[in-house]
Amino acid sequence: MTTKFTPDHEYIRIEGDTGIVGITQFAQEQLGDIVFIELPAIGKVLKKGDEAAVVESVKAASEIYAPVSGTVSEVNAALSTEPGLVNADPEAGGWMFKLTLADVTETETLLDDAAYADLTK
């Protein structure tokens, strides 16, 4: 199991051919209190970089992009009643959606832990 990152502050945790997507600790701190999350429909086919979800803070809406290509297989339904989970626990309980990866090798283009840490330093 590895976790990769985008320069736009999404993470994707890869478990076999499934990727679990959310936003990083850094991103949730930047956004502040999250009050509403719009999640993709299950079955939606996304290309890398497509808009996948929208996170609303008190002040603004921010788009979440698909880190890699794939099909949405599951969404975190808890976020519809408790969007603050993304603030409290972004990289575990605050995950947003799961993708069945179209091409596992695509994840190699993403940032690893060290490279992402470097970006947000």
Partner 1 sequence: MSPTSPRVFMAEPESQDLKQTPLYARHVAAGGRMVAFGGYALPVQYPPGIMAEHKWTREHAGLFDVSHMGPCFLMLNERSGDADRDHAAIAAVLEPLVCGDIAGLPPGKIRYTLLLNEGGGIEDDLMVARPPTGKEGGLFIVVNAATKDVDFARMSEAAGQVARLQRADRGALLALQGPEAAAVLARLVPETADLAFMEYGLYDWNGIGLSVSRSGYTGEDGFEIRCYAEHAETLWDALLADDRVKPIGLGARDSLRLEAGLPLYGHDLDLTTSPVEADLGFAISKRRREAADFPGAARILAERSEGPKRKRVGLIVEGAPAREGAAILDADGAPIGIVTSGGFAPTLGKAIALGFVPPDFAQAETVLQVSVRGRPQPARVVPTPFVPHRYHRKTA
114's CB contacts (< 8 A; 6+ apart) are none
In whole angstroms, how close is the CB of 104 to partner 1 at the nearest point?
Answer: 23
Whichever of 60 and 114 has its CB closer to partner 1, that residue is 60
β-pair partners for 36: 56
Q: What CA–CA distance (Å, rounded) separates 114 from 109? A: 14
Considering beta carbons, is residue 17 or 78 the nearer one to partner 1?
A: 78
Structure token digits, residue 13: 């945790």
Q: How far is the CB of 101 from partner 1 (least distance, A)?
A: 20
- Tell me the residue ranges of DSSP E strands in the chain: 2-5, 10-15, 18-23, 34-38, 45-46, 51-57, 61-65, 70-75, 97-101
For partner 1, which is the closer residue by CB, 16 or 59?
Answer: 59
Residues at the site binding partner 1, with contacts judged by CB under 8 A: 8-10, 23, 27, 30-33, 35-36, 38, 54-65
Instruction: State in angstroms the smallest separation of the CB of 36 from partner 1.
Output: 5
Closest distance of CB 87 from partner 1, Å: 9
